[in-house]
Structure 1
C-alpha cells in the first residue's frame, strides 16, 4: 500500500511516498481503508523529534493520528464494526510507528466511532484529535457549565474552533482570543473575540469585569500569565501546551483515544451544534506541504489530507 513515511527526524523534506506492507489486524482492531486524514501540530512536532523524550520512534514512521474511512475487515474480538461501516478515529499508539497518512490503517475499536452522516471525508477526518482535545479539556478537566465564562486562547485554530462551540453547547459564555482578521469567524462560532498581545488582560476585563471562571490555553507562553489578571476567584485552568500549569493548580491535558467521547462529538455534529471548519485539503503526495502549512500557525480550523 501507499504511505507517507520518514526514516529520520527532520524537516518536511524527510517525508517521502513509499510502498509498505498492509498492516496486520489484531483481535481488537479493524482494518480501515482510509479516505482522509488530517494534519495536527503534533504530526510535525513528532517528525522533528520534539517528543522523543516520551515516545519511542521505530523508523520508518508513518505520521498521522486522525483517520476517516471504511472498514474492510474486523479482528476476532472486534464486533463493534463490520465490513462497509464508515468510521472515524483518533488512532494513537504509545510509540511512533504506524500512522494514518496511508491507504490502510489497523485501528483499535476503542479509538473509533461511526462517521457523522452530515460530514464529507475531509471534515470527518478533521474531527477526532482536535475535537476530543477540546471536549476532554472542557468536559473532563474544566467541567464547564452554564454558570461559566470561559476564556479560550487561540479560538480560531484547530482545537479552538471546537472548544468555543462545545463550551457554548454547555451554556457557557465564551471569550476567544484571535487575530483581528479572525474576529468575525470567532464571533460566528459563538464567542466574543478579543485580540491577543499587549493589553489582553485589560480587553478581557472590559467585557467581563467580574473575571472569567475557566481558561483553556492552547498556545502556552505569555497566555498563562494572563489568567491571574482576568480570573475570578477560584478560576480553573487547563492547558494542552504547557505542563507547568500543574504547578499553578491547573490541569495539563494530553488527549486520549475514547470511543465514548468521540461518539458524543459525533452526536453534537449531527445535531448541528458543532461544525467542522476545514481550511485546506491536500492530496497524500503533498503531505509535506500540508505539514508546512500547519507549522506556520495561521490556519483557521483544520488541514486535511485526501487519500482514498
Structure 2
C-alpha cells in the first residue's frame, strides 16, 4: 500500500510502499479515504515523542483519518465491515498512522461511526483540532457574556474554538487579518483584531479596558503570552496549546488554566460529530490535497482552516 513515511526522526517525508496492516483480534482495519493534517504530524516526524513511547520505522505519519472498515479482528463487537468511521490513529508503537491507504486501530480507541449527514472528507479534519477546541472550552467553563480572546483563531483549532466558545455564550474576540474577518464573523466571532495593524494587547485594552475573562492562545511565545495574560481579569483563565504558559506565574495572579493537550476519546469525538450533523458546528476544510503531495502541506504555516489529504 502507499503511505507517507519518514525513515528516521527529522528525515525527509516521502511516499513509500508499505505492507498492508492486518487487524489484531481487538482492532479494525480501515480503508482510508481522507486524512486531516495537523501541526502535530511534523512534531511526531521530528521526534517529539521520542523516549516517551516506542516507534516503528519506516514511520507512517498521520493522526486524523476517516474511511470504511475493511476488516475486523475476531474479538471486535462494536464495528462491522462497511461502517464509515473516523478516528485518531495514534496508538503505541507510533508509526502506523492515517497517511496511508489502510490503517488499523483498536476498537476501544478514539474511533467512531460517522453520522450520515457528515461527508467523509470533512470528518477526517475533525478529531485533533475539534477535540482540542472542545477540551479548551470545557476547561475554561465559559459563561454567557464572558469575553473570550482567541489568538490564532484562523487555523484549524481556532476555527473550531470560535464556534464552540460562541455556542457556550462567550463574546468572542478573534485575532485575524482583514481578509479573514468575515469568515470569523460567520463562525461566531463578535469582534476581530487585526494582529498585523497593531499589537493585539494594545488593541484589546483599548476596546475592553476592564479586561477579558478567558484567553485561548494557540500560537504565542512564552514572552508574548505573558504580555497578553495581563489582559485577563483576576479569577480568569489563560490557556496555551503549545506549552507557552508559565503556570506558576498565572497562579500568582489568581488566574486558572495553563498548558493543555487534548485527551479526548471516542465519547468526545462522537459528541462533536453529532454537533456537526445537527448543523451547529462547521468543519472548516480549507484545502484538499492528494496523498502524493503530503510533503508539501505537512508543517506548512499560515493555515486558514483545515487541510485534508484525499487518499
The answer on 1:289 being equivalent to 2:287 is no
Q: 1:257 to 1:236 in 2, by over 3 A?
A: closer
TM-score by length of 2: 0.90
Residue of 80, 83, 86 corresponding to 1:82: 80
Q: Secondary structure at the match of 2:99?
A: coil
RMSD: 1.9
Instruction: Looking at secondary structure, tell me which structure has more helix per residue.
Output: 1
Q: Report if the CA contact (8 A) 1:4-1:63 is conserved.
A: yes
Q: 1:264 to 1:240 in 2, by over 3 A?
A: same
How big is each residue's C-alpha offset from its partner over 1:69-115, in whole Å with a ceiling of 9 and x where there is no partner?
11122233432221111111112124421111111111223311221
State the distance in 2 between where 1:257 and 1:64 align.
Answer: 17
In structure 1, the partner of 2:218 is 218
Q: Report if the CA contact (8 A) 2:68-2:84 is conserved.
A: yes
Residues 1-308 of structure 1 aligned to structure 2 (within 5 Å): 1-10=1-10, 14-52=12-50, 54-109=52-107, 110-139=109-138, 141-191=139-189, 192-196=191-195, 198-221=198-221, 222-242=223-243, 244-247=245-248, 248-249=250-251, 250-291=257-298, 295-307=299-311
Q: Secondary structure at the match of 2:227?
A: helix
Deviation of the 1:270 alpha carbon = 1.0
Runs of 4+ residues over 4 Å off in structure 1: none
How big is each residue's C-alpha offset from its partner over 1:110-151, in whole Å with a ceiling of 9 and x where there is no partner?
311221433322211001110011111211x21223242211
Deviation of the 1:157 alpha carbon = 0.4
Q: How many residues align?
A: 301
Of 260-269 and 221-230, deviating more is: 221-230
Deviation of the 1:53 alpha carbon = 5.2
Runs of 5+ consecutive residues of structure 2 not aligned to the other structure: 252-256
Q: Report if the CA contact (8 A) 1:36-1:125 is conserved.
A: yes
TM-score by length of 1: 0.91
Runs of 5+ consecutive residues of structure 1 not aligned to the other structure: none
Q: Report if the CA contact (8 A) 1:152-1:217 is conserved.
A: yes
State the distance in 1 between where 2:92 and 2:220 align.
Answer: 24
Deviation of the 1:210 alpha carbon = 2.7
Of 160-169 and 21-30, deviating more is: 21-30
Deviation of the 1:252 alpha carbon = 1.8
Q: Report if the CA contact (8 A) 1:158-1:302 is conserved.
A: yes
